[in-house]
Structure 1
Amino acid sequence: MYKSHLSSFFLLLLAEGFFGNRFQINLIKELSSKQLPHNFVISPFAIHQALALLYLDKDIRKDYQLAKALQFTGRRSAKIVNFFGKARWKANRQHFVMANRIYFSPDYNVSENTQKINKDLGVDVEHMNFSDGQKSGDEIKKWLSKTIEKASQNIFDKNDLSNATQLVALQGMSMSCLWKHRAKSLTKQSFSIARPNKTPYIIRVDMMYTKAPFEFFNDDEVRGVMIPFSRTDIGMLVLIPRRQGTQKVLQNLDKYLQIKMRKAEETHVFLPLFTVQETMDLNAVLKAVGIKNIFNNVGDESHADAANFKQFNFLEVKPNRVLIKADVGSDNDQRVVKVNQAFVFVIKDQSNIYMVGRMENI
């Protein structure tokens, strides 16, 4: 009986994690089937937040197409709100700067329920007239740049917003990693940049070096190391392909996230310093994962492409504090992980993917 209870509890924990990141993984897989920039970053968690608000916006008539895509079928509203509340609490502890706002046209019927739950979900709600697309785009960009200082580039193109627009969702996230294990030094190391039908291009880049207990796994296709953050169970999983490209790793991300990590061992880790930012249009990707009603039937009338989803993200990877700057030799008697080629990074906990991306070129 005792064993049975433990098994049931374990399955419940698995189900909670599955509920959280199944949609997020599906979004990443669909995104990775498209042509992507060499270096990019996206926040599946932020789009999940915004869509959760649109799902819970209706007091009675729910969008079951949206519920299915978000893995919300059978989930009570209070449980959904609580799920995102816990995740936001952890993200705030890690000093993630998060901006998430949905703009509704004046004739969009925003329910009273939205006014009650938007703060709990961490999604702002504003009304805006989109008849002057250029002016609306400028106002939205101004709001984002006040919240996230790095967001200085244009978010919307000239023809993105018009009289037909009923809803605009914009998310942004900015963070600098706060590592649990501080860098012992900075060192110059080789980084290999792949080139089609050519020998790789080798450059010397600045890398953080540290030696500490890290969880890891070695798979025939991918090598993974989990680099923990300082204040929560959030960390950065770095995935280094062995015989395939980063695009394939992203397309099979669910497979690699299910690989059991080995117990933490003392490990030498070399991780390059890098900065990546990206503005991404998510309309086509959301439609591809089964979310269509929002784009074709916003409010009480039918509009073609009445919704517009955009996202801006900025990630900076650097040491918490540099102790020394020197060349560092590896100790061959202990584990050594050098992130010295194109890699995928996943900033995650057990239930959410806060950021995911790849670096092909440092």
Structure 2
Amino acid sequence: MSKNFVISPFAIHQAITLLYMGKDKHRDPELGKALQLVGRRTDKILSFFERARTKAIQQDFVMANRIYLSPYYNESEHMRSISGGLGVEVENIPFSEGSTSGDEIEKWLNQTIDKGTRSHLFVKDNLTEVTQLVAVQGNSLSCTFKHRIKSQTTMSFSIPMHNRRPYVYKVQMMYTVAPLEFFNEDEVRGVMIPFSKTDIGMLVLIPRRLGTQRILYNLDKYLQVPLRKAEKTHLFLPIFSVQETVDFNLALHSLGINHVFINVTHHDRNENAAYFKQYNNLEVKPNRVLMQSEVGADNDQRVVNVNRPFVFVIKDENTIYMVGRMDSV
């Protein structure tokens, strides 16, 4: 995985929930527990995903989520009946056609995301006659913040270097002053930047002493830190974008997906029977800029200058839509 990346936990949750709930019988209890679905009624689960998906679309997320099944995979009518409620399409495709199947999947993703990108998901021999399931997700978002960006300015961005002086270079920063929720810990500083149309926002986590990798390892801990009441805050945030294709095969193998979801009917099926890939595009750029000028900050008021590597979490109270880190801008 590259130093700069973004993934969508919500999209993963959608797809794996469909694979779990789509089985009429023999659902995996450990996976159900991990997904926090044990004991929850189907209508409640579908309602949660519908609300979250509707809000994301209102906030201009573009989401594509499709599971491709080979003719050997015995999907149930129940799976197809709940797929719409979960926001995950189900499609049959003959993986024996190899690169042709891969081209068809990539064409669907590129057309659905429609951002002028050409995401490449598969390499030669990824898809063969032994493949039974491919889950493909695409997510795209161009952030629109609640508070107007007042100006743009060029400022320093510092990257720590092991046993060397930090590498410092100039980046384009957006500047605004607005009431923002925040927290201050010894290890991490956090600030919530609200979006314009919903209660979704971007929580920016700025390390004080830790690296971004350590923040990600302990993300649950920092997400539990309560935000303080909003105060007038000067915010400097880099203009950045990140595009990433992430292969989740290792994560699936650790969950035992080959044993849980795939009904092997041929002895020559192998551990490469499932693929799970996600393409994400995120842009953070100025919207509604009021003026172009060099800006300063009132030292008597709160100042948040995101001038070093950071982690970001796009979330509302109940759902994490995207998580990523920027080690360089």
Q: TM-score range by the shorter chain?
A: over 0.9
Indicate if the aligned counterparts of 1:155 and 1:310 stay in contact, CA closer than 8 A: yes
Q: Secondary structure at the match of 2:95?
A: coil
Indicate if the aligned counterparts of 1:148 and 1:173 stay in contact, CA closer than 8 A: yes
- 1:278 and 2:206 matched: no
* Shift, 1:241, TM fit: 0.3
Q: Which residue of 2 aligns with 1:299?
A: 263
Which is richer in helix? 1
- Separation of aligned partners in 1, 2:154 and 2:257: 51
- Separation of aligned partners in 1, 2:57 and 2:263: 33
- 1:85 and 2:36 matched: no
Indicate if the aligned counterparts of 2:28 and 2:260 stay in contact, CA closer than 8 A: no
Q: How does 1:174-189 map to 2 (within 5 A)?
A: 174-189=140-155
Q: Secondary structure at the match of 1:139?
A: helix
Identity %: 61
* Shift, 1:284, TM fit: 0.6
- Separation of aligned partners in 2, 1:295 and 1:133: 23
Q: How does 1:116-135 map to 2 (within 5 A)?
A: 116-135=81-100
* Shift, 1:295, TM fit: 5.5
- Separation of aligned partners in 1, 2:81 and 2:297: 55
Summarize deviations over 1:236-270 as a string: whole Å, max 9, x none. 00000000100000000010000010000000000
* Shift, 1:325, TM fit: 1.2
Count, aligned residues:
325
- 1:361 and 2:291 matched: no
* Shift, 1:69, TM fit: 2.4
- Separation of aligned partners in 1, 2:305 and 2:259: 44
* Shift, 1:297, TM fit: 5.6
Unaligned runs of 5+ in 2: none
- Separation of aligned partners in 2, 1:253 and 1:351: 15
* Shift, 1:300, TM fit: 4.8
Indicate if the aligned counterparts of 1:226 and 1:236 stay in contact, CA closer than 8 A: yes
Summarize deviations over 1:294-324 as a string: whole Å, max 9, x none. 4576125374231110000000001122211
Q: Which residue of 2 aligns with 1:101?
A: 66
- Separation of aligned partners in 2, 1:206 and 1:114: 47
- Separation of aligned partners in 2, 1:46 and 1:130: 23
Match of residue 195, structure 1, among 158, 161, 171: 161
- Separation of aligned partners in 2, 1:163 and 1:297: 17
Provide runs of 4+ in structure 1 moved above 4 Å. none
Q: How does 1:1-362 map to 2 (within 5 A)?
A: 36-150=1-115, 151-288=117-254, 291-294=255-258, 298-301=262-265, 303=269, 304-362=271-329
Q: 1:196 to 1:132 in 2, by over 3 A?
A: farther
* Shift, 1:65, TM fit: 3.1
Unaligned runs of 5+ in 1: 1-35
Indicate if the aligned counterparts of 1:59 and 1:113 stay in contact, CA closer than 8 A: yes
* Shift, 1:132, TM fit: 2.2
- Separation of aligned partners in 2, 1:79 and 1:60: 20
- Separation of aligned partners in 2, 1:185 and 1:262: 26
Q: Secondary structure at the match of 1:78?
A: helix
TM-score, normalised by the number of residues in structure 2 = 0.95
Q: Secondary structure at the match of 1:82?
A: helix
Of 233-242 and 65-74, more deviation after overlay is shown by 65-74
* Shift, 1:75, TM fit: 1.6
Indicate if the aligned counterparts of 2:206 and 2:306 stay in contact, CA closer than 8 A: yes
Indicate if the aligned counterparts of 1:296 and 1:306 stay in contact, CA closer than 8 A: no
TM-score, normalised by the number of residues in structure 1 = 0.87
Summarize deviations over 1:126-153 as a string: whole Å, max 9, x none. 1000012211111111000001134413
RMSD, aligned CA = 1.4
- Separation of aligned partners in 1, 2:237 and 2:137: 28
- Separation of aligned partners in 2, 1:66 and 1:296: 9
The one-letter amino acid of 1:355's match is M
Indicate if the aligned counterparts of 2:19 and 2:261 stay in contact, CA closer than 8 A: no
- Separation of aligned partners in 2, 1:211 and 1:45: 31
Q: Secondary structure at the match of 1:324?
A: coil
